[in-house]
Structures are given as C-alpha cells and as structure tokens.
Structure 1
Amino acid sequence: MKKITMNSNLLKNKTSIFAAAALLSLTSISAQTFTDFQYKGNDKIYNDNPLKPDEFYSPILQGCYPDPSITKKGEDYYLVNSSFSMFPGVPIFTSKDLVNWKQVGHVLDRPSQLKVEKAGVSAGIYAPDIKYNKYNDTFYMITTQIASGIGNMVVKTKDPAKGWSEVQKLNFDGIDPSIFFDDDGKAYIVHNDAPPKGTEQYQGHRVIKMWDYDLEKDQVVAGSDKIIVNGGVDLSQKPIWIEGPHLYKYKGKYYLMCAEGGTGGNHSEVIFMSDSPKGPFVPAKNNPILTQRYFPRDRKEKVDWAGHADLVEGPNGQWYGVFLAIRPNVNNRVNHGRETFILPVDWSGTYPVFQNGLVPMKPKLKMPEGVQNQTGQNGFFPNGNFTYNDKLTDKNLDFRWIAMRGPRENFITTTKNGVKVNPMETNIKALAPVSSLFHRLQHEDFETSVTLDYKPKSEKELAGITLYQSETFNYVFGITKKDKDFYIVLERTEKGTSKLIASEKISLSKTIKFQVNGEKDEISFNYSLDSKNFKNLGGSVSGDILSTDVAGGFTGSLIGLYSTSSNDIVPN
C-alpha cells in the first residue's frame, strides 16, 4: 500500500476547480439560496424521561447511524458508522468519556475512495470497523463497499481527523470484515462469508472466516483462511446471518463476538471464547448476551432489533458496548432508522454480558463516574429533544450535511446569504448523484423549516424540501412553474411511482418559507410567503413510505434541501 496521505488538499482543490467550472455553466438557471434551517425534535419519550444530573440518553447517536464500531487510543475514543451511498462516507466521532461525542469528519471524503455514483441508497458502505494498532501507531478502517466492484477494503491514518489513505482492495469475498491486532504484533481479519460451495444447509446459513493479515503489504495472506464458526452458536438450530464479527483478547483468552439472527426483530449478539486466535471457539452457554427479541410487541418505550455490537474498555476500567437498535413509532414503523446505542458490559465472569441487554431497554443510563453531560453544547453532538439551527452561511458547512452518491461540493455554493443548491440534471428519483443537501431525521415527532430565495424560470426547474427514504420512496415539497405562474407542489413517490398530492398557484414576490411537521407517523407540509402565516398543502399525509418496513433497505430517512433542473412534477 502506498504511504498514507495525511492531507488531501491538492485533490480537494482540483475537485473545487471542477465544481466551480460546472457551476459557471449554470448561469442560465435560476439561482436558489437556502437559509435559516431549523430542526426541532419533540419526542414523548424524552419529555417523559427528563435527565437527572448523573444520567445520559441512549441512543448516543439518533437517526441513521447504524453498525457502530469503536476503538481507543490513550484517552480518546473513535466511533464510526455505516453510510451506504451517502457522501462523504463513514461518519467518525470522537469522545473522551463515551457520553459526549464530536464529529471530526468522515473517513471516506474523496471520490477516489468512495465510488457510489450509480449505487442504490442501501448499497455502498456496509459495517465499517475501526481499530487502532499500538505497534505502528496507526488507525485502520476496514469495510465492504458494495459498489463499483471494490468489495472488501481498508484505509488507514495516523490521525483520524486529518484524512485517510487511498483504498486498498482486499482479496477475499463476503462482508463485514474487522481487523484484530494481537499482543505479539500479528494481525488477523475475521468476516462473514458463504459456507463452502455445496455445504449450505438452509437459507441464511453463513460462516465466520479468519485470515492472517500482512501489515507490510496491507493484504490477507493467501491460503491462510479458516472457518472459525459455522452457522452460529448451534448449527442444529439453523441460526441465520452470523455476521459483524469482532475479535478481542482479555485476560489471556480470545473472544469472538458476532451478530446473529438477521438485522430485524430476531437480531442478537453472541459470544465465543478460545485459547488461540484461530480457535476452536466455544460459545457461551448463556448466549445471546444482547437482544430485545423476547418481549411483548406492544411494550412501552420500545427498543428493538438490538445487535451488531463492538466492545471497548471505558474510563475507570468499566467495559462498554456500542450497538445498533431501533425505536419504532406509534405505528411500529422505523422512520429514523437504526441508531447507535450504548450499554455498560459486565466482564467479571468468563464471558462478557451487556448489563440490562436482555431486558426491555430504558432511555437513560447512569453517567460514568466523574463525567459531566455536555451533549448539544461546546460542539458536542446533541441528543434527546434538541433544536438545531443553521443559517447555512458558514464556508465549511457542518459535517452533518451530506449528499447522495457524490460530493456536496459539486452542487453547492456557500454565500453570506445562505447556501445555493445548484440544480443537477437529475431529480430525486435518479440512481445517480442528486443536487440535494441532506440532514438525518432524528425524531418521531419533529418540526423542520427553511427559507428559500428562488424563482423558477421553467417547469423543468424545482426547489424545496424532500423527505427521502430512497430513490423510490420519498416526498417532494417545492416550487416550480407552469406557463407564467408559480406553483407550490407536493408529490409522493412509492415503489418508484409518483403521485401529485396537491398543488397551488402562488404569488411569489420575495422568499418562501417551507415547514414540515411530523407527529405520530403523520406529516404536514406547510408554507409561508411572509415568514409568519403558514398555509398547509395537501392535508396530513402518512409517514409510511419513510419507514424501513415499507421501503426496505437499511437506511433511515433524510431531510433534503433539494433543487433540480429535471423536474417532472406537473401542477394541476
């Protein structure tokens, strides 16, 4: 592998030059400027469970932040998540106490690292694993890129906040790889794979495979692969989707932790132990060590689908596990996706066990000793019911603003008046980069608004807000033109089929303010021409198409500041 590129200013400058050239060609298209974005959460669970001074909320990352992996260097913790076809990819957070988290950027922030231009929203980056190797003072992020023929890959850096290397493709199949550095300096990779050809016993039968890893060549050692788990804890029970493996060493023993049961209602976390990194691995008798699958479907303040975990030693020697889970809404829908939760882990016995990981989960946890809750303050990521305000005037937009399938710099221009979203010749239904700046939906009950300065010149132009679950499931709420008149329109797309819900001719003199309110799986789209008095368009509509159980895939919903020069919504 080539030397690590710690800073990619040259590449970024070239990208900016090309983006600027592209923007100059758009002078014939109407300018649109978004400003004064506000997002506010008002979930009942937080109103009913206010924090005491010694408590914090789990999930620690609300919204679509699934498949967490965590590592530690000195007093600093780093956490990454799956990002699928979002661009940039693999958000990375840091903390000193596991409670207060700051986003320091993204691991895959260049087109040379992330090739998802034609990928569906749930393709792209799956299950990243981040680990620090103390023997060469280097961080590794290993993942599967389901796009452009890349497959399993690794990047590395000396400083997670200052850029990562180019991609090194890894020579093995399967998904969910993770890397382990042993006390003797040797390295290994474990991952999910199909069973050997002709030995598959049932649908969902998978294996965990291990390879030796050559740290000089950054490649697995050919012929070193070995199956260390076949099927799961008990093959006779036909367990499905053993995946997301992580290897640890604790008190001289090797522990292999995996997800089992699929990433839905049967999801769980299981643990195995061995005297050697290559096995044989013996499952704990009390598996699973984490799940929410045994409890009544209609339980209060429900958390579900818990699994896909990673362990780390926390402050004061207390172990913790981060994992994904969901919090379905009143209609049991999963609109804000799989989120990052945390629980303390008891490792006083032979095997680790998640504390209260086998009872219905609570929204609050006890603070680690000596930690003060600063979430939402001093640059720390917020949780609970919070308000996020952004005038969208900063030259470097907040890391939480992302694009889909390509760099946001290709279509945005930041100004003192807000951010211009310069329209691409693709619309929101395209399997291609789209000109939309996205923010994750993070609550069941929410209110979001933005002010738009825009006058479309033709029926092919539209700008406004999109609620986006995928290219085939979304809402678009925006302004377009028909003949000489301006119209505000609301369209619903389900399974790729679009339907106009409502349209209304408006007199557009200055800016327009869009407002979207979500409450108990119902959504209302409102607008104001004077920034004070709001008018509803289309009544109350269902949030069903924003849910994973309806739309499929692995992502949560996004709120997009959207513009296109390929509008196909025709007002009535």
Structure 2
Amino acid sequence: MIRPTLTALALALSVSTAQAAPKPGQAEFRNFTYEGADPVDAQVVLAPGQYRNPILKGFYPDPSITRVGGDYYLVNSTFAWFPGLPVWHSTDLVHWAQIGNAIDRPGMLDFKRLGLSRAVFAPAIEEHEGTFYILNTCVDCQGNFLITAKDPKGPWSDPVWLPTVGGIDASIFFDEDGRAWILNNDAPPGPAEYQGHRAIWIQQYDPKAKVTIGPRTVLLDKGVDPSTKPIWPEGPHITKKDGWYYLTAAEGGTAEGHSQVALRSRSVTGPYTPYANNPILTQRGLPRDRPLPITSAGHADLVDTPDGQWWATFLAVRPYGDDLYNTGRETFLLPVEWKDGWPVILENGKTIPYAATAPNLPAPKVLPPPTTGAFQAVETFAGPELPLNWMTLRIPTERWWSVGQGALTLKARPDKLIDQPSFWGRRQQHINASVQLTVDFAPTADGDRAGLTALQSDEFFYFLGVVRSGGKPVLRLERRAGAGDPVDGMVIAEVPLTGTGPVDLKITARAGEYDFAYAAKPGDWKVLKAGADGTILSTRKAGGFVGAVFGVYANGK
C-alpha cells in the first residue's frame, strides 16, 4: 500500500522501485509470514466488553498519548531504528492503527553508528490549537528537539533543537493562560549524591519564536521520598484538573523496580507535594513466582475521555523466566481512579490484568491489523513501500531496496549489521512466535550472505541463510552473543546447498529457545538447529532498551 511518509523517503532518495528477477549482488525475499500466540492468549478468554493487555505487543516502549475530540494519538520510542517514533490513532483506546512515523526522512536526524539503544528516547505528543507537537531527545546526537505537524500522519517538520534544555524525556504542557512549558529529566541542581540521582526541571517555551525563555526551575529532586535515594525520575508530564497541576513521572529505573509517582501543586512551577500513597503504579514487591507475570511497569501518560473518564498508557514487560524477555517493553492500558484528588492507576500490591473492562468509546468502523492477542501477519510485498511497522538499523542514505511484484529485493552491500546494513524487519511480538519466508540469492564471493535474522542488537543476533564459503553456497546458522564474537557471528551449523534457486527459511521462538529450519524444496522442512539459546536476545543479557526483531538481511562485497 502507498504510505505518504515512505513515499517521501523514496522521492528523497530518487531510486526506481521497478522489480526484476534477482541479479548478481541482489537478494529477493517473498512470502514473509509472522505468527504468534502466547500461553495467556488461550488461558485468558475475553468476556463481552473487555480488552486485552498489552494493547501494543512487542517493542513499543514509552507510550505518550493525547486526545483531540474523539480521536486519540500515541507515539513510542524507537531508539536507533528507522523510520522512528511510530504514530498511532484510535477511537476507543483499544484498537490502534499505525498512521505514520514521525522520523521518516533521512535528513531529519543522524544516528551515525550509534548503538541500537541510543538515539531517539521517550517522545511526548500533545496537540494545541490545531498543531501537533512531539518533544523528543536524540541521545548522543544533538539533544532535545521539537517537531510539529498539522496532521499527525505527517509530514512532521524538521527538528527544532532546544539548546538551553538538557537531559532526556522532554514533554510540553500548554496552560489555560496560553503559556507553554517544557519539562524534562536532567542532572540535579547540585552535585549528584549517588548513581541515578536526577531531577525534573521546567522552563517556559515560546511556540512562535520556537525558543525556551526565562529561568529553569526544579520540580522534583531525587524522587518523592529522598531518604530512600530513589533513582531516575523521568518521563515527566503535567496534567491540569480541578485547579491542580499534577506532575506524574516514572521513578526507580526501567527494570523491576520501575514505578509511576504523582505530585500536585496550585502553581505550574511548584512547589509540588507528593501523593502520600505513591507509587500510583508498580509491580515491584510482588511474588516472583506468580504465574504469567507482568513486571517493570511505569512511564505512564494520562488522558481523559469526552465523558470525563481517565485512562493511562504505560510500559511493562512479560518475562518468560527470571527477568528474561525478548519482546521488549510493551504498551499497556488501565483506567485511572481519582481518590481524594489523586490519580491512581493501580493500587499497590495488585497485579496488572491481562483482561479488563474496555472504555465506553466507539470502536473503529474498520478494524486495523491486530496488535494484541494471537495473530498472523502476512506480507505480500505488493509495493511500492513496506508497511509502516517495518524498520531498518539507523538511517539509510541511499535506496538499496525495492518492493513490488510480491518481493522485497535488497542490494547485498558491504555494510555490516554494525553499520547501516541492507536490512528490513518487524518486531517479535509474542513470547512464542515464528517467521518464515523464501529467499532467492546467488552469492558471488566468499562471505556473501542473505537470509533471515532474529536480532536484538548488532552484538546479539542469529542469522539463518545462504552463504558462499569455499567457493560454494551453504545454508548456515550464525550467532553473535557479544562484542567479543566475530562481526558476522560464529558458525553454529551449516549444510551444503546442492542446487540454486529459492530456499525457504523458518525461525521459531519458544520463550528462551529458538529453532532454525530450512526447505530446499517447498514443504521439505529440515531442522538445522533446535533449542538454540534464545536468551541472548533478551534485554537482561543483551542490555539496552529494545526488543527482538525478525528481519531480512543481505551482505556482499
């Protein structure tokens, strides 16, 4: 289908997308099929009027949400993946359709060779007087920036950099008097007293001049209870209700100690008083052996409905073992209850439900592709562009791919996975998932390769595909499990390929184990490796803030 933002990218790179049979140095991929179903999908059956958590499965962290009339818009972090900052639309807070990517042009940002968990951190979206604003940070790039659009589908403006605002996790608040304010996490006003000692700051912003003005003020130093040495207050938002300014922020880091806290004040610049029963959301302190756990909840954003109800989007994870998860941080939804003038997402000690009563809001007239529960997604590569949820590592500076006539064709370029490679992929969204495709590639030099990957970062991945070795093509499985391994990975298994032409490839994820299979003839599946260690793709072992991605990759001299 034609997507305006990626069409703009195609025009910017000025390359034809005409299809042809694979040529030397090109790899052709067809029949890409992803499917997944988790144990909870069968165990938790929805009753009428219920929705399923998470609402966005897979690597969709740091959700920020805003409402315009009866429409809701949401954005997520993407770090060094491109296109970046997916923009979603919903009318009922349950069914979400991706309508664009806010970072979709090569000239907007420069990720260089940044690690995949650097670059664009937590975005925040707001609308004011017909203009949409996204505040964001490009870590190790140039700092905090703002982009705007009249239509959330895009196009979004080039970044306006905010040199007087440091730190990360910037957001914007428009007050009733017309003034705008920017919040963010930054260094404390004095020397840091311990690792993770941070502060939340606020400064006025002039939307017309596009500059920050006036002094910066600290709203929260350390956290709501400084005596406990809280770490990483971040993701701040201000919400105004009944004459009170509510400051909500994450606290406790992004792992199992994650939480959400609330404070309030009669003045936008404070002083802010913490809620006596903070945190207003957390899963820390719950039994580690509870069934089907959800952990690491926080980084919430509040939104109201036209009938006066309140809801919160937030991130959490679904581990399959001891803090092991490959699906990354996902987007969840829960109602907000106001208790004595304070917003409470979930009382302490309660577990996040996988099923809950849905908002009383109109469902979309046409249901979008599923983003939760068990589902299958088939990509036919009809062209001229890939779906909006497909991503590549870092930012391309040339058009090395084409889409159409049922195929995604990649130029086998020298760029490795540590650079900006010939790679496109989509997120692993289930603990138990599989992906399969057909690859047609004729390697011409030793080391040339094309195939299927399960990748968490350029240091932690599996590659299954056709490789030329010793002057002959082989079907090979390679694994990289850290910076100490070879850039292409270590050979785990391989078999000779006796003929030429297409080969079917399949990767099956079973929690912490991955199976790799191939079929040189359609339907004649053979297992190359079963039970490979999939925990290397988990955040706990690979580090960072992203999740695993299934993708296609071609590399050649």
TM-score, structure 1 as length reference: 0.92
CA distance change for structure 1 residues 210 and 565 in 2, over 3 Å: closer, same or farther? same
- Give yes or no for contact 1:459–1:480 (8 Å, CA) kept in 2: yes
CA 1:71/1:373 → structure 2, altered by over 3 Å: closer, same or farther?
closer
Aligned partner of 1:186 in structure 2 is 179
Matches within 5 A, 1:273-352: 273-330=264-321, 332-352=323-343
Q: How far 1:13 moved relative to its partner? A: 5.5
Output the CA distance in 1 between the equivalents of 2:54 and 2:91.
Answer: 17
For residue 73 of structure 1, what is the amino acid of its counterpart?
Answer: V
2:83 to 82, 88, 109: 88
Instruction: Please report the RMSD computed on the Cα atoms of aligned residues, expressed in angstroms.
Output: 2.2
Q: Is the partner of 2:303 in helix, strand or coil?
A: strand
Larger displacement relative to structure 2 (409-418 or 72-81) = 409-418
Consecutive unaligned residues of structure 1, counting only runs of 5 or more, are 1-6, 567-572
After the TM superposition, which of the residue ranges 110-119 and 261-270 deviates more from structure 2? 110-119
C-alpha distance 370-186 of structure 1, shift in aligned 2 (>3 A): closer
2:5 and 2:104 in contact (8 A); partners too: no
Matching of residue 209 in structure 1 with residue 201 in structure 2? yes
Partner of 1:425: 414
Residue by residue over 1:32-52, the C-alpha shift from the partner in whole angstroms, topping out at 9 and shown as x without a partner, is 211111111121011111222
Separation in 2, partners of 1:77, 1:8 = 20
Find the partner of 1:487 among 460, 474, 493: 474
Corresponding residue for residue 249 of structure 1:
240
Q: Does the alignment pair 1:142 with 2:112?
A: no
Write out per-residue CA displacement over residues 363-391 of structure 1, whole angstroms, 9 at most, x where no aligned residue. Answer: 111122255588xx733443101011111
Partner Cα separation in structure 1 for residue 432 and residue 371 of structure 2? 16
CA deviation string 1:332-371 (max 9, x = no partner):
4110100000100012531100145751112111122255
Which residue, out of 143, 149, 166, partners 2:158?
166
- Structure 2, unmatched stretches of 5+, are none
CA distance in structure 1 between the aligned counterparts of 2:407 and 2:210, rounded to whole angstroms:
44
**3-state SS, counterpart of residue 115 of structure 2:** coil
Which residue identity does 2:455 align to in structure 1? Y
Separation (CA, whole Å) in 2 of partners of 1:255 and 1:159: 28
Query: Which position in structure 1 is the counterpart of 2:58?
Result: 63
| Equivalent residue, structure 2, for 1:520 | 511
Query: Shift in Å at residue 58 of structure 1?
Result: 1.0
Within 1, Cα distance between the matches of 2:10 and 2:285?
53
**Identical counterparts, % of pairs:** 37
After TM superposition, the structure 1 = structure 2 runs for residues 262-273 of structure 1, keeping only pairs within 5 Å, are 262-273=253-264
User: Is 1:75 the counterpart of 2:70 in the alignment?
Assistant: yes
- 2:267 partner SS: coil
CA distance in 2, matches of 1:484, 1:10: 39
Does structure 2 retain, via aligned residues, the 8 Å contact 1:41–1:386? yes
Asked if 1:38 is matched to 2:29, the reply is: no
**Alignment counterpart, residue 47 of structure 1, candidates 30, 42, 46:** 42
1:195 maps to what in 2? 188
Aligned to 1:105: 100
Amino acid at match of 2:204: D
* Structure 2 Cα separation of the partners of residues 534 and 442 of structure 1: 24
Equivalent residues of 1:58, 1:342 under 8 A apart: yes
2:364 equivalent to 1:378: no
Change (3 A) 1:317 1:357: farther
User: For residues 355 and 179 of structure 2, what CA distance do their matches in structure 1 show?
Assistant: 39
Q: Is the 8 A contact 2:184 2:202 kept in 1?
A: yes
Give the counterpart letter for 2:145 in structure 1.
Answer: M
**CA–CA distance in structure 1, aligned partners of residues 342 and 80 of structure 2:** 36
Compared with structure 1, are the counterparts of its residues 192 and 264 closer, same or farther at alpha carbon in structure 2 (3 Å cutoff)? Answer: same
Whole-angstrom distance in 2 between the partners of 1:342 and 1:370? 14
Confirm or deny that 1:411 pairs with 2:400: yes
2:342 counterpart SS class: coil
| Number of aligned positions between the proteins | 548
Match in the other structure for 1:16:
13
Hey, what does 1:237 align to over in structure 2? 228
The DSSP-based 3-state class of the residue aligned with 1:236 is helix
| CA distance in structure 1 between the aligned counterparts of 2:387 and 2:107, rounded to whole angstroms | 22
Native 8 Å contact 2:78 2:85 kept in 1: yes
Aligned match of 2:387 in 390, 398, 404?
398
Please state if 1:220 is matched with 2:212.
Answer: yes
**Aligned-residue offset at 1:28:** 7.2
